[in-house]
Amino acid sequence: MKKRILKLDPLINPNTFFDGRGGIMTYLPERFSIVEWNYIVTLKGCVRGDHLHKEFDEYVLVTDGEGLYTELTEGERLTTYVSSGDCIYIPMNVPHTFYPSADTKFIALLTKRWDDCDEPITKVVI
């Protein structure tokens, strides 16, 4: 079964590591423009999701914490582990849920503004 939620690999400029200040990892969306982003906190033991987005694609950049994203594909539940620094791409119409194993903070980047959607979120059972 092919996963539709994809973990993205960043471009890394090694000079940003060698200069002793830390590092810069760059993520380049391949097909879509980002028009809105949201800072989201999900506490350990809580579940966020059981939904899909009919009108936009979503990129998620984990800034702190870790957990497991699940998606439902052709009746099969597939998982993607994420932790600080990871970025994933969730295509439109892919049912997904996040299960944190620690308090987790992330930025959700959307390809259509939430308030411009007729139905920004559609609940599903995953």
Instruction: Judge residue 40's burial from the number of C-beta atoms within 10 Å of its C-beta, 0-12 exposed, 13-18 middle, 19 or more buried.
Output: middle
**Looking at residues 32-41, what average pLDDT do you find?**
94
Dihedral sign for Cα 23, 25, 80, 108, please.
positive
pLDDT in tens, 11-34: 988 888 898 889 888 988 877 799
DSSP 43-76: -TT--EEEEE-SS--EEEEEEE-EEEEEEEETTE
Quick count: other Cβ atoms within 10 Å of Cβ 108? Answer: 15
Q: What's the DSSP call for residue 110? A: E
Q: Tell me the domains of the chain and their CATH numbers.
A: 6-123 (2.60.120.10)
Shortest CA distance to 62 belongs to which of 41, 99, 44, 87? 87
Confidence (pTM): 0.89
pLDDT at 126: 65
pLDDT digits (tens, 9 = 90+) for 67-126: 999 998 888 899 999 999 999 999 999 999 999 999 999 999 999 999 999 999 999 976
The residue assigned the tokens 């998982």 is: 79
Closest among 50, 66, 62 to 101, alpha carbons compared = 66
What is the per-residue pLDDT for 110? 96
The Cα 100–Cα 31 span in angstroms is 28
